[in-house]
Amino acid sequence: MKSASTGTSGMFRTGRGINNINNRIFTVFVWGISACIVLFICALLYLILQKGLPSLTWDFIMGLPSEMEEGGGIGPALFNSFYMLFISLLISIPLGMAAGIYLAEFAPNNKWIGFVRICVEGLASVPSIIFGLFGIALFVEMFQIGLTIIGGAISLAFLNLPVMTRVTEEAIRAVPKEMKQASFALGATHLQTIRRVLVPTAISGIVTGICLVAGRAFGESAVIILTAGVTTSGEMWDFNLFSPGETLAVHLWYVQSEAIVPDAVSISDKAAAVLVFIILMFNIVFRIPLWIKDRKNR
């Protein structure tokens, strides 16, 4: 694995001891720290998954929640999680990508773009509770639609827009400019260049962005408690956009902080494990096309 880099450096090494020692120390140091962090992450994941996964049953995943008796499920909350994530991505991916492409490709390089970029980063730092309050002011008070899936999904999309925008911008900027010039030289228009050259080349970075955004949206609770409520419509497969939309993360919060059911601890362990497991799946599913593409290119 180190063949390319150390090989070349080995060939040209003129035997300066101190550099070599530094290099060794550095490599060991990085390996050490990384190993510690990786171990830590694995321990963390193990801790979460091990408490929940073994006792997971199909009934729990698809079942209706219960307030008093043991054995309540998470079905509607899980469904809402996916449904709301889907709607919010439907809004945030196109908008975020378009804004990112603007910043990377169209924006004049002056104070204005600096200003827009600061706006985007500023928006990224807005605490989720403030998005929640904003969501209430917008959907519940102004549009009077109450606590709904659509209100929650749009608020979530707002929360995710800045990350999507900036990740897209960075990814497109990182495309070597030769590729772009080559495309222009072949007579492609700007739009064609973006569609056929820039976005496909930058897709790995953009997918990272989508993964980050999807993961965050899936685990977000504060915004949804305020804009979509803590109830589900009480049935599976409810596609109504105006139903109350408790998601799995909100259910987890509820079970941890207020629920009275005797098996609350076990429900929260299992729900946390399901959440983490699904996010793991996201990461893998989103990556498969990239791996395939990688293979082809080789």
Partner 1 sequence: MKLFKTLSVAAMAIALVTSSVSAVSAASSLKGTIVVNGSSALLPLTLQAANEFKKLNPKVKISASAAGSITGPQSVRKGIADIGAVDWDASQDVPGFKKFDGQVAHKVAVIPFAAVANKNVKVDNLTTKQLQDIFSGKVTNWKDVGGSDADIIVVNRAFGSGTRVNFQMKALAGSDFLSKGNNYKEVKSSGDMKTAVETTPNAIGYIDLVYVTSNMKALQINGVAPSETNVINGTYKVWGYGYYMTKGQPDGATKAFIEYIQSAKFQNGSLKKLKFIPISAIK
Partner 2 sequence: MQLDSTAQGPIIDSSTSELGGSIKAGSGNVLDRKNRLLFYNRAFKIACIASAAFVCLILFSILFFMFRTGVLTFRDVSPMTFFFSTDWSPENESYGAFVFIFGTFALTLLTLLISVPLSVIIAVFLAEIAPKWLRNLLRPVLDLLVGIPSVVYGFLGLTILIPLLRDVTGTNMGDGILAAAIVLTIMVLPTISRISDDAISVVPRKYRDASYALGATRFQTIFKVTIPAARSGIMYGVILGMARAIGETMAVVMVIGNTPQLADALFKPTSVLTSNIVMQIANVPFDSTWNNALYMMGFLLLVISLLMIVLVRLLQRKGAHQ
Contact set with partner 1 (CB under 8 A): 67-69, 136, 140-141, 144, 146-148, 225-226, 229-231, 233-234, 243-244, 254, 256-261
- E-state strands within 100-187: none
**How many angstroms separate the CA atoms of 92 and 124, rounded?**
13
Which residue among 194, 228, 259, 274 contacts partner 2 (CB under 8 A)? Answer: 194
Nearest to 2 by CA among 43, 31, 42, 34: 31
Burial class, 296, CB count within 10 angstroms (exposed 0-12 / middle 13-18 / buried 19+): exposed
Which residue among 17, 33, 80, 86 contacts partner 2 (CB under 8 A)? Answer: 33
Backbone angles phi, psi at 64, to 5 degrees: -85, 145
How distant, in Å, are the alpha carbons of 92, 113, 244, 246, 257 from that of 250?
A: 21, 37, 12, 6, 10
Number of residues that bind partner 2 (CB under 8 A): 112
Three-class SS state of 34: helix
Verify binding: residue 200, partner 2, rule CB under 8 A: no
Residue (81 or 232) nearer to partner 2, CB? 81
**How many angstroms separate the CA atoms of 272 and 267, rounded?**
8
Q: Least distance (Å) from partner 1 to the CB of residue 271?
A: 14
CA-derived radius of gyration, the chain: 24
53 binds, among partner 2, partner 1, none (CB under 5 to 8 A by kind): none
Residue (95 or 140) nearer to partner 1, CB? 140
Q: Least distance (Å) from partner 1 to the CB of residue 242?
A: 9
Which residue among 17, 111, 176, 296 contacts partner 2 (CB under 8 A)? Answer: 176
Residue (46 or 239) nearer to partner 2, CB? 46
Q: Least distance (Å) from partner 2 to the CB of residue 240?
A: 25
Indicate left, alpha or beta for 16 from its phi (over 0: left) and psi (-120 to 50: alpha). Answer: beta
Site for partner 2 in 216-255 (CB under 8 A): 216, 218-222, 249, 252-253
Site for partner 2 in 90-129 (CB under 8 A): 94-96, 98-99, 101-103, 105-109, 114, 116, 118-129
Site for partner 2 in 146-175 (CB under 8 A): 158, 161-163, 165-167, 170-171, 173-174
Indicate left, alpha or beta for 71 from its phi (over 0: left) and psi (-120 to 50: alpha). Answer: left
200 binds, among partner 2, partner 1, none (CB under 5 to 8 A by kind): none
141 binds, among partner 1, partner 2, none (CB under 5 to 8 A by kind): partner 1
Cβ proximity of 98 and 254 under 8 Å? no
In the chain the first and final C-alpha atoms are separated, in Å, by 17
Residue (61 or 136) nearer to partner 1, CB? 136
